[in-house]
Amino acid sequence: MKTGYVSRTMTRAANSTAPLRAAVIGAGVFGRFHAAKYKALEGVELVGIVDRSSDAAKAAAKDLGCEPFVDTYGLLGQIDMVTVATPAVGHASAVVKLLEDGADAYVEKPIAATLPDADRIIAAARNYGRVLQVGHQERFVFAHMGIIGRKVAPQRIECHRAGPWSGRGTDVNVALDLMVHDIDLVHQIAPGEGVVVSATTRSRPDSYGDEVSAELVMGNDCRVSLFASRIAEARKRFMRIVYPDGEVFIDFVARTILNSTPEPLTSIFASDGGVASDPLGYAVGDFVRCVRERATPLITGEDGRKALATTLTILKAAGSPATRDEALAA
């Protein structure tokens, strides 16, 4: 561990009156969302936003009241924490140098597009004593609800996440863009490793990896069905968890929860919004807390790698490219 790097951020974090300096890499829609969350948090100063497109960086910086950057070099020594919201293929190159320089990092999901890149990010965070959180923010929703940590193991899980074509997120397969969220949740709910039984895919004529279905068996013989689509006719998202003592069915579109188990669940659909209405806000807020307290985040780099590994195994079984670069090279 390079103590010179660590002490710079830890000194600021130990002083609750000193603002933590944040930056965001990626001036797209999600990068702007992250920047707005930082901007709204007390005790956080949004220093800048980075994008390879000078125009995009300047436009976002103007809207958010921070400085624009076209690369990360201008951030070195200037920030305490960073969000990486670039296309997944560039996560490692965007964040490793900043981890080495002493910044804590929130890396959007998937943690990377390949396992070697994920390992580079995790190793840098470990070697330099940095906080590393991965953007599976829906974990906060399920933790709040009370499903994660339930002592009764599920027998079956069904995850369905679909919406119409928007052109968003096509730098990666829909499994890495959408399904990976549900895979992370499955790993938290059902113990053991997953074995892929079957996997299929289909796409638009001018695209790739737009719809993926998979069947898994987890280590405790829990059967898992996963479906993700960005070419569906309508938005549809639900999760069904079948236990020996009952069933939980969550409809995220209708905002309803049906629970026939004997254990009560905390509602995530409160009249004033609830955690399900702003999981990113909860996730960014907790990341800042972890930076201040030097605490382990709810979603670690190892968690992100585990979800990535299972997703890539599904795509290999389906014979589907994981990224646009792979699809173009095929």
Residue 171 has pLDDT above 70, yes or no: yes
Residue 271 has pLDDT above 80, yes or no: no
Cβ-Cβ contacts under 8 Å for 57 (sequence gap 6 or more)? 27, 49, 50, 51, 68, 69, 70
User: Could you tell me which of 124, 117, 86, 119 has the C-alpha nearest to residue 103?
Assistant: 124
> So what's the pLDDT on residue 276?
86
Q: What are the Cα distances from residue 107, in Å, to 10, 55, 84, 268, 301?
A: 20, 23, 5, 25, 9
- Cα of 313 vs its chain's centroid, Å: 18
One-letter amino acid identity for 328? L
Percent helix, percent strand, percent coil in the chain, to nearest 5: 40, 25, 35
Cβ-Cβ contacts under 8 Å for 319 (sequence gap 6 or more)? 201
Residue 8 has pLDDT above 50, yes or no: no
Q: Band the pLDDT of 4: cuts 50, 70, 90.
A: very low
Q: How far apart are CA 85 and CA 94, in angstroms?
A: 9
Domains, the chain: 3-130 (3.40.50.720), 139-267+308-329 (3.30.360.10)
Percent of all residues in the chain with a pLDDT value above 70, rounded to a whole number: 94
User: Could you tell me which of 305, 313, 320 has the C-alpha nearest to residue 229?
Assistant: 320
Q: Band the pLDDT of 5: cuts 50, 70, 90.
A: very low
Q: pLDDT tens digits, residue range 103-113?
A: 999 999 999 99
> So what's the pLDDT on residue 12?
46
User: Could you tell me which of 246, 214, 242 has the C-alpha nearest to residue 228?
Assistant: 214
Q: Band the pLDDT of 15: cuts 50, 70, 90.
A: low
Q: pLDDT tens digits, residue range 120-166?
A: 999 999 999 999 999 999 999 999 999 998 899 999 999 999 999 99
CB-neighbour burial class of residue 330 (10 A; exposed 0-12, middle 13-18, buried 19+): exposed
Element (H, E) at 211: strand 211-217
Percent of all residues in the chain with a pLDDT value above 90, rounded to a whole number: 87
